[in-house]
Chains A and B, each alone.
Chain A
Amino acid sequence: MVHAIAMDETSFRSVNILLAEDNEADVKITIRAFDKAKLKNNLFVVNNGEEAIDFLYQRGAFQDANKYPRPDLILLDIKMPKVDGFQVLEKLKSDPQLKLTPIIMLTSSKNEEDIVRSFTGGAASYITKPVNFEDFSKMVNGFNFYWQIINKLPPQK
């Protein structure tokens, strides 16, 4: 049986977050918002769905498990070249090893069909990116507070 270890009890291990985002500007904005929150997270960035899958399976350019650890949380854009967010979602949720990792859709789309599809596919949360940076920053703060203080993350092997 899986014994869930609460985040609160794991001392203060920094949380590894994987961001899959193809838009260069959005990557910079997200990194800056995380920096601004002054949190001790490791934020890893990949630029499309294919890289995201490589990262998660620690293959291709991401073979070094010390440099590229399994993430505790995944921030996933929907519209990406090669393999899109939904495909990544489907792939991870069908993998018994990776399916516990919470996936948070982080997208510009407010489209109802996208929202329904994300939750149906097993996403843990759906967040739309605000246009204004202050709002973006607040959103990241709220995100961190919820996922790292209130929520209890599943264990990492």
Chain B
Amino acid sequence: MFKRHTIASKLLIYSLAVSLVPLIFFSIVSYKLYSANMEKELRAELGFKADNIVHDLRIYLKEKEQGASILSTRKTLIDTAPRLISSFNSHSSDIATIDKEISDYISYFINFYGYYDIFLLSPKGDMVFSYLKEGDLGANINSDPNKFSEILKVFGKAKETRQPALSDYGYYEVSKKPSIFIAAPVMNGGKFEGVVVCQIVQKNVDEFLGEYSSFGDTGEIVVGHKISDDEVLLQGGLRFVPAAAFKIKRKMGGPIALPMQKAVNGEKGIGFDVDYRGEKVLAQWQYFEPLHWGIVTKIDVKELYRPVYQLQYMLLIIGILSTLSVIFVSILVSRKTTVPIISLTKSARAVAGGDLNAKAEITSNDEVGELSRAFNQMSAGLKSSVVSIDELNKEIEIRKQVEERLRFLASIVESSSDAIIGKTLGGTIISWNKGAEDVYGYSASEIIGKSVSALAPVELKDEMIKILDGIRRGERVVHFETKRLTKDGREIYVSLTVSPIKNRSGSVVGASTIARDITSRKIMESRLNQTLLELKRSNKEMETFTYSASHDLRAPLRAISSFAQFMQEDYHDKLDETGRGYLEEIKSGAKKLDRLVQDLLTLSRVSRIRNPYEVVSTYAIIKNVFGRLLYDIKKKKVGVYIQAGLPSIKCDKVKMEQVFYNLLSNAVKFSSKGIYCAQRVEVGYRDAGNEHEFFVKDNCIGIEPKYHAQIFNIFARLHTDKEYEGTGAGLSIVKRVVEDHGGRIWVESELGQGAKFIFTIPKEPKKDILEQIGG
């Protein structure tokens, strides 16, 4: 006892020392590496985001500029402009009529491009047309260079360059709104007829910038304009001070809003700094030339380091857990070592006491195991020298058993409920068991010596002859289903197995037939087929119903949602805040329901439409899917990795594309959420014998194991609407298609660890059961 304890405690101390020291070391190193790595990733991420904003802003402005260009080159406008200008100059009353005509036309552009107002300026700078007529109509923009400063600039530029021109973002006194102006020259052949000016106002700009303020809890995009040498005016995107755009100014050279100061000075960079609120942030700053904007994309340092704190906590838990497991393992090891020694000691004592059967238990292959084995060999050697007479008795016992078995076999033949018949090659029956009597109704004495042809219906006599011919050549017939006649003339279904009987020299002398009555099974089968057909029909009806029901549901939904909207618009003043809130709820409810209905539609379509299987290259499928997702992949800067050597598989091509599309678009969607994601999506393959095994892996949010089964259910939703748009039908569809092919799908994931969706497709996909029975 004393010794055992010593071994155990020594082991414990050694292992703790050996395992904990590197563990502590490893924790410290990985913590440091992780923090450094995360900071690197965050910087890259923020850089991506910021670049995206600038990219989208360019596209946004380009689109607005395009609208101005299209309008300025329409024949209607080119023809109308000189008419307007000449009646303006001659103070003709025609101007009201022309104004009204062109207003209708202009309204299309206002509506379509979302401009606030559109003006037409004569070559001299007279404002001869304004859609909104806010009070600037009729003025010459040269008359008040202060008020019209931005319009003057773009007018001059468009006139001079004959190209569209973009103004800065500034406060426009006439509209009392911060505005951007886009001018496009109106040219008739080579003749300059005037300038069209389209106005965009703060509301549009804020909507645009606001879309980006959603990243993280504290992410924000701030734009600023240097209004003088020592002041910056913040012009939009303020998440923390709503409605403060154009009101907050910061001093150049001051202690706060440092990234903005750098941005408006034309610098580009990324780093930790103090923002306009005096808060410490990780920021990216850059200058946006077209609008002379400084753009700062930033997120609070507090938010950034949240995961690092989580890591610290996690490392602590890992430390405690590993200490506990080291203790546990060393106790286990010491037990493993000492227990066999004790047992060996026991056995040695038993042998010494005369028990030659005593054996040492061999529990391991180590030195102790070797010792036990040697001990056993020794005791066996002792034992074998003692002779026994038991052997003789055993021999007699075996003979008895053989006789018994022969009798047994004979009684099996006799008692079998299958008919077992022996016949000559000529077809004469020579043996007939009890089962044959039951199946065919003839007793053995009645039938032995007669021809088997008595058992076949007239139309099947030939079949019987053919079988016997085969037997002569040594062929067997196995589980052949056919019809036979009973003594009382009933037709029954039987399953036949006919084998040649050979004599000692190997030549065929007769045949044995085992016939099983399968009449009731055949009846069941035909009933089953009937039921399957009915099932198929009702399935089809169900699908058609789902389709048309979900389809018809959309019209009333549109009514609910739209009339709630009309009520909001028309009775806005009569409703209080609560009433308006209720309408908002109605609308959002209808919207959700619509999404569900649409998912139902998609799912029902997957079930309804079946395409024949063909051999397709999965690489080609994935390439196609990528084409469809390219916009998101580029926009969200997701790194995509496709394993080489993807196979060609036999499948429904359209649906398989849907499977990859749903999985990949999920992965891309998830990968782009949250600032902590290293955006990476991987598609891989493994040959799993009878099956192809594919996986799609992302490394983002991940899914808690308790949800793993649920996510494949239709409409399961793990994320609130805010976090993740879309419903659960995507994965249900994937599951449906994979299972229709006879494959399986599952997910491997932990919360925060990314998700790996794995599915298999059999190399020989199973056919649809409903299709098998002739659909």
Contact surface of A with B, Cβ cutoff 8 Å: 6, 8-9, 11-12, 14, 23, 25-26, 28-29, 32, 37-40, 108-111, 129-134, 136, 141-142, 144-145, 148-149
> In the complex, A20→B570 CA distance in Å?
26
What are 6 A-B residue pairs whose CB atoms fall within 8 Å in the complex? Answer: A14-B104, A39-B108, A108-B551, A132-B561, A132-B562, A149-B105
Query: What is the 8 Å Cβ interface bit string for chain B, positions 557-570, against chain A (1 contact, 0 not)?
Result: 11101110110000
How distant is A34 from chain B, measured CB to nearest CB, in Å?
11
Give every chain B residue within 8 A of A6 (Cβ-Cβ).
Answer: 75
With contacts A23-B555, A37-B107, A132-B587 known, is A8 near B76, CB below 8 A?
yes
Q: Is A11 a contact partner of B558 (Cβ separation < 8 A)?
A: no
Q: Is A133 a contact partner of B562 (Cβ separation < 8 A)?
A: yes
Give every chain A residue within 8 A of B70 (Cβ-Cβ).
Answer: 149
How distant is A73 from chain B, measured CB to nearest CB, in Å?
14
Give every chain A residue within 8 A of B557 (Cβ-Cβ).
Answer: 131
With contacts A108-B555, A109-B551, A132-B561 known, is A32 near B566, CB below 8 A?
yes
Task: Check if B554 is an interface residue, CB within 8 A of chain A.
Answer: yes
Mark out the residues of chain B between 551 and 604 whose CB falls within 8 Å of any chain A CB in the assembled complex. 551-552, 554-559, 561-563, 565-566, 587, 590-591, 594, 601
Chain B residue total in the interface (Cβ 8 A): 32
Q: Is B112 a contact partner of A142 (Cβ separation < 8 A)?
A: yes
Q: Is A131 a contact partner of B594 (Cβ separation < 8 A)?
A: yes
Q: A37-B107, A131-B591 are in contact. List 14 more A-B contacts (CB 8 A).
A: A6-B75, A12-B104, A14-B104, A23-B555, A39-B108, A108-B554, A111-B547, A131-B557, A132-B587, A132-B590, A142-B112, A145-B111, A145-B112, A149-B74
Task: Check if B63 is an interface residue, CB within 8 A of chain A.
Answer: no
Q: Is B74 a contact partner of A131 (Cβ separation < 8 A)?
A: no
Give every chain A residue within 8 A of B558 (Cβ-Cβ).
Answer: 25-26, 29, 108, 129-133, 136
Q: Is A8 a contact partner of B108 (Cβ separation < 8 A)?
A: no
Determine which of B107, B111, B112, B555 lies in contact with A26 in the assembled complex, contact meaning CB atoms within 8 Å: B555
How distant is A36 from chain B, measured CB to nearest CB, in Å?
9
How distant is A29 from chain B, measured CB to nearest CB, in Å?
5
Task: Check if B534 is an interface residue, CB within 8 A of chain A.
Answer: no
Task: Check if B101 is an interface residue, CB within 8 A of chain A.
Answer: yes
> In the complex, A142→B67 CA distance in Å?
13
Q: Is B111 a contact partner of A9 (Cβ separation < 8 A)?
A: no
> In the complex, A132→B601 CA distance in Å?
18
Give every chain A residue within 8 A of B563 (Cβ-Cβ).
Answer: 25
How distant is A130 from chain B, measured CB to nearest CB, in Å?
8
> In the complex, A133→B75 CA distance in Å?
33
> In the complex, A29→B561 CA distance in Å?
10
Q: Is A132 a contact partner of B591 (Cβ separation < 8 A)?
A: yes
Give every chain B residue within 8 A of A9 (Cβ-Cβ).
Answer: 75
Determine which of A23, A39, A131, A134 lies in contact with B590 in the assembled complex, contact meaning CB atoms within 8 Å: A131
Give every chain A residue within 8 A of B565 (Cβ-Cβ).
Answer: 133-134
User: Closest residue to B595 on the A side, CB-wise?
Assistant: A131
Q: Is A131 a contact partner of B561 (Cβ separation < 8 A)?
A: yes
> In the complex, A32→B561 CA distance in Å?
14
> In the complex, A1→B559 CA distance in Å?
46
Find the residue from B70, B105, B547, B562 having the highest chain A CB count within 10 A: B562
User: Closest residue to A7 on the B side, CB-wise?
Assistant: B76
User: Closest residue to A145 on the B side, CB-wise?
Assistant: B112
Give every chain A residue within 8 A of B591 (Cβ-Cβ).
Answer: 131-132
Give every chain B residue within 8 A of A32 (Cβ-Cβ).
Answer: 562, 566
> In the complex, A32→B555 CA distance in Å?
16
How distant is A116 from chain B, measured CB to nearest CB, in Å?
13
User: Closest residue to B568 on the A side, CB-wise?
Assistant: A133
Determine which of B111, B547, B590, B594 lies in contact with A141 in the assembled complex, contact meaning CB atoms within 8 Å: B111
Determine which of A29, A37, A142, A149 lies in contact with B562 in the assembled complex, contact meaning CB atoms within 8 Å: A29
> In the complex, A110→B111 CA distance in Å?
26
Give every chain B residue within 8 A of A29 (Cβ-Cβ).
Answer: 558-559, 562
Give every chain B residue within 8 A of A145 (Cβ-Cβ).
Answer: 108-109, 111-112
Q: Is B112 a contact partner of A8 (Cβ separation < 8 A)?
A: no
> In the complex, A64→B375 CA distance in Å?
119
For the complex of A and B, list the 6 residue pairs with the smallest distance between their C-beta atoms, beginning with the closest: A25-B559, A133-B562, A145-B112, A131-B594, A133-B565, A40-B104
Give every chain A residue within 8 A of B76 (Cβ-Cβ).
Answer: 8, 12
Q: Is A39 a contact partner of B104 (Cβ separation < 8 A)?
A: yes
> In the complex, A26→B560 CA distance in Å?
11
With contacts A37-B111, A38-B111 known, is A133 near B105, CB below 8 A?
no
How distant is A141 from chain B, measured CB to nearest CB, in Å?
5
Give every chain A residue within 8 A of B112 (Cβ-Cβ).
Answer: 141-142, 144-145, 149
> In the complex, A144→B105 CA distance in Å?
11
User: Closest residue to B67 on the A side, CB-wise?
Assistant: A145
> In the complex, A88→B76 CA distance in Å?
34
Q: Is A11 a contact partner of B555 (Cβ separation < 8 A)?
A: no
How distant is B746 from chain A, measured CB to nearest CB, in Å?
31
How distant is A20 from chain B, measured CB to nearest CB, in Å?
15
> In the complex, A125→B210 CA distance in Å?
35
Mark out the residues of chain B between 475 and 500 whose CB falls within 8 Å of any chain A CB in the assembled complex. none
Q: Is A25 a contact partner of B562 (Cβ separation < 8 A)?
A: yes
How distant is B389 from chain A, measured CB to nearest CB, in Å?
88
> In the complex, A40→B106 CA distance in Å?
11
With contacts A29-B562, A132-B561, A136-B562 known, is A149 near B108, CB below 8 A?
yes
Give every chain B residue within 8 A of A130 (Cβ-Cβ).
Answer: 558
How distant is B590 from chain A, measured CB to nearest CB, in Å?
6
> In the complex, A110→B551 CA distance in Å?
9
> In the complex, A119→B652 CA distance in Å?
26
User: Closest residue to A10 on the B side, CB-wise?
Assistant: B76
Q: Is A38 a contact partner of B107 (Cβ separation < 8 A)?
A: yes
Give every chain A residue within 8 A of B594 (Cβ-Cβ).
Answer: 131-132
Give every chain A residue within 8 A of B105 (Cβ-Cβ).
Answer: 12, 149
Give every chain A residue within 8 A of B556 (Cβ-Cβ).
Answer: 25
> In the complex, A111→B543 CA distance in Å?
14
How distant is A62 from chain B, measured CB to nearest CB, in Å?
26
Q: Is A8 a contact partner of B75 (Cβ separation < 8 A)?
A: yes
User: Closest residue to A141 on the B side, CB-wise?
Assistant: B111
Give every chain B residue within 8 A of A37 (Cβ-Cβ).
Answer: 107, 111
User: Closest residue to B597 on the A side, CB-wise?
Assistant: A131
How distant is B681 from chain A, measured CB to nearest CB, in Å?
28
User: Closest residue to B565 on the A side, CB-wise?
Assistant: A133
> In the complex, A37→B112 CA distance in Å?
9
Give every chain B residue within 8 A of A110 (Cβ-Cβ).
Answer: 601
How distant is A117 from chain B, measured CB to nearest CB, in Å?
15
Mark out the residues of chain B between 235 and 268 whose CB falls within 8 Å of any chain A CB in the assembled complex. none
Give every chain B residue within 8 A of A108 (Cβ-Cβ).
Answer: 551-552, 554-555, 558
Query: What is the 8 Å Cβ interface bit string for chain B, positions 51-78, against chain A (1 contact, 0 not)?
Result: 0000000000000000000100011100
Give every chain A residue within 8 A of B74 (Cβ-Cβ).
Answer: 8, 149
Q: Is A25 a contact partner of B108 (Cβ separation < 8 A)?
A: no
How distant is A47 from chain B, measured CB to nearest CB, in Å?
14
User: Closest residue to A77 on the B side, CB-wise?
Assistant: B555
Give every chain A residue within 8 A of B104 (Cβ-Cβ).
Answer: 12, 14, 39-40
How distant is B204 from chain A, measured CB to nearest CB, in Å?
14
> In the complex, A40→B104 CA distance in Å?
6
How distant is A4 from chain B, measured CB to nearest CB, in Å?
14
> In the complex, A134→B70 CA distance in Å?
25
> In the complex, A144→B113 CA distance in Å?
12
> In the complex, A23→B559 CA distance in Å?
10
Give every chain A residue within 8 A of B547 (Cβ-Cβ).
Answer: 111
> In the complex, A110→B597 CA distance in Å?
12
Determine which of A8, A131, A149 lies in contact with B554 in the assembled complex, contact meaning CB atoms within 8 Å: A131
> In the complex, A114→B111 CA distance in Å?
30
Q: Is B101 a contact partner of A11 (Cβ separation < 8 A)?
A: yes
Q: Is B108 a contact partner of A144 (Cβ separation < 8 A)?
A: yes
Give every chain B residue within 8 A of A142 (Cβ-Cβ).
Answer: 112
User: Closest residue to A41 on the B side, CB-wise?
Assistant: B104
> In the complex, A149→B107 CA distance in Å?
11
User: Closest residue to A14 on the B side, CB-wise?
Assistant: B104
User: Closest residue to B587 on the A side, CB-wise?
Assistant: A132
User: Closest residue to B588 on the A side, CB-wise?
Assistant: A132
Give every chain A residue within 8 A of B75 (Cβ-Cβ).
Answer: 6, 8-9
User: Closest residue to B609 on the A side, CB-wise?
Assistant: A112
Mark out the residues of chain B between 116 and 140 whose CB falls within 8 Å of any chain A CB in the assembled complex. none
